[in-house]
Amino acid sequence: MAVLKIGVFTVCLLYFGPVFAIEDYCSSNTYSTNETHMQFTKEPSSEEFAIAGKFKGLHCCAKGYRSIEWYKDGKPYPWPLMVSQLILYPESANQTVYTQSVTEADAGNYTCVLKNDSIAHSHTIQLKVFEKIPDDPKITYVSQDSRVRLGQNLRLFCEAFAGRVDLPDAHNEVVWRKSGHNGTLDDEPRVRQEKISREDGQTFGTYLIIDNLRREDYGEYICKITKPGKSIEQRVYVAEKSEVKYLNPNPVPVTKLILCMSAIFFLCLAAVILNLQYGLPLRVRFKDSFGIVEENDGKANDVLILYSSKDSEIALGVLMPTLQTKFNYKCVSREFPLNLNYWFGELQDEALKSRRIIALLSPPVLNDTWTTAGIYQAIKQLQALGPKLICVTLKELPKCENETKNSQGETLSSLTRTINVIVWERAKDDKFWLALRLRLPPKRRNDRLVECRNQSQGINDSRLTSDSDESFENFV
């Protein structure tokens, strides 16, 4: 009777054995954590192997999820037979798909998608099906190198597939050892190795668990995977994770701050130095390349040069030819009328045809009255002409401590701060030309050389659009 009972039990075990195993699979050897958020509960393998005709199960062991969906090569469960014979095992809350007899057509990538109300995790297992037992053991999982704090627990896992060998004495196994240590690791109660196997011993592995990690536990661990006639080794490094200092929960990162600030300081310093050294040429280049080209604004000329007869040599001999031939600006020039009161009336027509006015200011312009009041009045007259004014002075403007304010509370110095005044010092010629060009309309490199007319007559296109000088030099 007893023999019969045992016999029936064995038959049951043989028949249901694999099914029992898959039922248990996700509930055994799980991570020991108290956390409840959605997570895997044990090491998920990313490669699985099987021999055609044998039982095969794939698992996504998890908790905290609301649903698990399975996909094979992107196709959602349930699968037609040609895609896969694997079916869900609902008793394991859909963590497992399995088949009693796997075929090569079942090979492929199986993805489980865990979902709760807010997030989804997915994990893919690549299933390979062999016709016969492969020569080498196939690794399904090896822990990665890791950093663990002193006093915490270490858990390493190593697992492989080697098929099932029906030979007496032949067995598959995985054993952990520590590099540089003789003997087994099991000589301390803190350290233990737990062997597991599934699918009738075809896939087998060993957990190495060390409680309360000590300094001497850090180092290299080797898992040796043995099947009859063959063994391979995998190495895993465990290093110390440095202690986080909890003494000061919100420490001000002083060194970081200092580093940051000095970096910013040096960057600013570099910017200032670069700007002093190369700023002006760069700004001119930038303006010419990207500034809004002021053509099609109905104006005939780029520049109207105003000068006194005493300065005609410098105006007509240097300023104008340089602007024309070197920088391609279309210029016209006019002498200042002798009486300041006639400037507006006599210059206005010409001024409105030009995009900029360059006024060459020097004492002769003002009948040698180089005073703040005189200059102020002259600039006011020129501003009234319309186009953007660039004053080029051949002599430093007079500095007067007690300037009288006019009715608007404006003085010459406050006025000159709002308009462009460039002092032409022959010693700093380069700088002068750059400063001047910066204030002129942008000129693209390939602009055609434009003939310059001294006195432009007969230009009837007086369709005057408002002076569109809001190119970006205002932003620079």
Ligand X SMILES: *[C@@H]1O[C@H](CO)[C@@H](O)[C@H](O)[C@H]1NC(C)=O
Stretch that binds ligand X, among 55-63, 86-94, 278-286, 461-469 (CB under 6 A): 86-94
Angle at 9 between CA 7 and CA 13, to 5 degrees: 115
Q: Is 182 in the site for ligand X (CB under 6 A)?
A: yes
Binds ligand X by CB under 6 A, chosen from 92, 94, 140, 308: 94
Q: Closest separation between CB of residue 73 and ligand X, Å?
A: 5
* Shorter beta-carbon distance to ligand X: residue 149 or 214: 214
Q: Closest separation between CB of residue 257 and ligand X, Å?
A: 45
* Shorter beta-carbon distance to ligand X: residue 88 or 292: 88
Phi and psi torsions of 420, nearest 5°:
-90, 110
* Shorter beta-carbon distance to ligand X: residue 108 or 137: 108
- Looking at residue 108, its amino acid is G
Q: Is 187 in the site for ligand X (CB under 6 A)?
A: no
Binds ligand X by CB under 6 A, chosen from 24, 73, 186, 349: 73
* Shorter beta-carbon distance to ligand X: residue 108 or 205: 108
* Shorter beta-carbon distance to ligand X: residue 73 or 186: 73
Q: Is 184 in the site for ligand X (CB under 6 A)?
A: no
* Shorter beta-carbon distance to ligand X: residue 96 or 372: 96
Question: In whole angstroms, what is the distance from residue 87 CA to residue 105 CA?
Answer: 14
Structure-token match 């279309």, residue found: 330
Q: Is 150 in the site for ligand X (CB under 6 A)?
A: no
Binds ligand X by CB under 6 A, chosen from 27, 109, 179, 289: 109
- Looking at residue 423, its amino acid is V
Q: Is 418 in the site for ligand X (CB under 6 A)?
A: no
171 alpha carbon, distance to own chain's centre: 52
Tokens of 231: 């063994």
Q: Is 208 in the site for ligand X (CB under 6 A)?
A: no
Q: How many residues interact with ligand X (rule CB under 6 A)?
A: 12
Residues near 86 by beta carbon (within 8 Å), at least 6 away in sequence: 56, 58, 72, 79, 97, 98, 99, 102, 106, 110
Binds ligand X by CB under 6 A, chosen from 80, 90, 168, 251: 90
Q: Closest separation between CB of residue 231 and ligand X, Å?
A: 20
Q: Closest separation between CB of residue 83 and ligand X, Å?
A: 11
Q: Is 454 in the site for ligand X (CB under 6 A)?
A: no
Q: Closest separation between CB of residue 278 and ligand X, Å?
A: 52
* Shorter beta-carbon distance to ligand X: residue 125 or 154: 125
* Shorter beta-carbon distance to ligand X: residue 112 or 452: 112
Judge whether 382 and 373 are in contact, CB under 8 Å. no
* Shorter beta-carbon distance to ligand X: residue 62 or 360: 62
* Shorter beta-carbon distance to ligand X: residue 88 or 318: 88
- Looking at residue 210, its amino acid is I
Stretch that binds ligand X, among 15-23, 67-75, 350-358, 428-436 (CB under 6 A): 67-75
Q: Is 196 in the site for ligand X (CB under 6 A)?
A: no
Q: Is 126 in the site for ligand X (CB under 6 A)?
A: yes
Q: Is 68 in the site for ligand X (CB under 6 A)?
A: yes
Stretch that binds ligand X, among 14-22, 56-64, 88-96, 456-464 (CB under 6 A): 88-96
Q: Is 175 in the site for ligand X (CB under 6 A)?
A: no
Restricted to residues 370-409, the positions that interact with ligand X (CB under 6 A) are none
Q: Is 88 in the site for ligand X (CB under 6 A)?
A: yes
* Shorter beta-carbon distance to ligand X: residue 68 or 435: 68
Q: Is 27 in the site for ligand X (CB under 6 A)?
A: no
Q: Closest separation between CB of residue 246 and ligand X, Å?
A: 36
CA distances from residue 339 to 51, 343, 358, 366, 378 in whole angstroms, order as listed: 109, 7, 19, 9, 11
Binds ligand X by CB under 6 A, chosen from 67, 275, 312, 367: 67
Q: Is 275 in the site for ligand X (CB under 6 A)?
A: no
Q: Is 108 in the site for ligand X (CB under 6 A)?
A: yes
State the residues that interact with ligand X by CB under 6 A.
Answer: 67-68, 73, 88, 90, 93-94, 108-109, 126, 181-182
